[in-house]
Amino acid sequence: MGLPSTSTARTLSARLAAALAFASAAVTLYWTLGGTALLDTVGGRVEEIARQRSTGALAVGAVVVAAKAAAAVLALALLRHPGRLIATLATVGGTLLALYGGVLVAAGALVLVGIIDPAGPVDERALRWHVLFWDLWFLLWGAALAVAGLRAHHSALAP
């Protein structure tokens, strides 16, 4: 069995990226509207902002939801015959998301296994959730978006 075709790989990657982006937007929207389930697994400043319920916190949440939804729409745009600009935006955006998630997963894992000793206190429960779920989500979402963008770029260049 060989590798999937460029079109199949683009379709699968774009759909995965869109699903991960929409799901991430939905979680953020839930927290922005006052939901608290799993909020303690995020910890830090994000948890504080979500619990504030201030106008500023709601505005930040709305902007993040809109950005995640826009990323999902970008991924869906790759299902058609996107031009080079859309393919490039997806590739660059996906690469940045994957790097963000990957760096956070690696750094968090190094803290959890004791290789890095942070100066301040560590919420180990939240950190485990980040390493094994939240930051890994960004890594996978970004990788899927980057692959879809690269495949779309390849298709746009093909005769």
Domain assignments of the chain as residue spans, ordered by start? 6-154
Res 142: pLDDT: 98
Q: Is the pLDDT of residue 158 over 60?
A: no
- In tens, the pLDDT along 126-141 reads 999 999 999 999 999 9
State both tokens at 64: 């993040």
Give the model's pLDDT for residue 98: 98
Residue 159 is predicted with a pLDDT of 47
Output the pLDDT for position 82.
Answer: 83
pLDDT in tens, 79-130: 987 889 999 999 999 999 999 999 999 999 999 999 999 999 999 999 999 9
State residue 5's pLDDT score.
63
Asked if pLDDT for residue 12 goes beyond 80, the answer is yes
- How confident is the model over 17-40, as a mean pLDDT? 97
